[in-house]
Amino acid sequence: MALLHPVLYFIGETLGIRLTTASESGAFLACIPVVSLAAPALILQKKPGSRQLAGILVTLLGVLITVLAVEAAASLSPAGYAFLLMAVLAYALYSVLVEKADGYSSEEITFVMLLAGAAMFGTLAVAQACAGGGLGLLLSLPLRDARFLTAILYQGVGCSVLAFFLSNVAIARIGVNRTSSFIGVSTVVSILAGMLLLGEGFSAMQMLGAAVILVGVYAANASGMPEG
């Protein structure tokens, strides 16, 4: 599970985004809820309800509208597409394994995920710094640059520890299918953060896409819907 996420997922996402355009990577990553829906149906034999399937497809449509509202461009990068596909599949399989790992607590699962990520990416960072003769700079940078330290703490504590833990708790309590429907909400949050914090524009198409996403998430989690 930890090999799939964060190791393979973040390698695929980071390299995929670097090698493709924003619209392409956004479209690929928007497919995570759909692939996460198919994975438990194939592996765990847990088929989603019709309303749940409809809600996730509506969420996917909203994300695609939002992504394509920005100028769409094609990189035609087979390597980039392969890395993004790896990220999508890694996340879907990770979600299935979290649901199967009912013998472990969310705290234990999160700990192993973070340990694997720290070991993998910490080793790569140190190796890269040693190869470039910048190990001292790497180790001292958090103490020399307050903005870098703030960013690292936000990524490490907020986006890793807290986010992974809450994701694992959600999958354990409401299942892969319903949890994956919320992935689209991150697109809405990104738009709002860009508008409020970075002063970016908010077009009518983005507004439409955000509304469609929220409708899809509500439909996938509406009261009385069978859990996935």
Enter the DSSP assignment of 228: -
Q: What is the pLDDT of residue 71?
A: 60
**Other Cβ atoms within 10 Å of 103 Cβ, number:** 6
Compute the half-sphere exposure of residue 18: CA atoms within 13 Å on the CB side of its CA: 8
Q: Which helix (H) or strand (E) holds 178?
A: helix 163-180
Distance CA 105, CA 158 (A): 20
Domain boundaries, the chain: 3-220
Residue with tokens 């090999």: 3
Under 8 Å between Cβ of 177 and 54: no
Distance CA 119, CA 46 (A): 34
Q: What is the pLDDT of residue 226?
A: 47
Residue closest to 210 by CA, chosen among 66, 69, 23: 66
Under 8 Å between Cβ of 9 and 90: yes
pLDDT in tens, the chain (228 residues): 999 999 999 999 999 989 987 777 877 887 888 888 788 777 777 776 777 778 888 888 888 787 777 666 566 789 999 999 999 999 989 988 888 888 899 999 999 999 999 999 999 999 999 998 888 888 898 888 899 899 889 988 998 899 999 999 998 888 877 887 788 788 788 778 878 887 777 778 878 888 888 888 888 777 544 444
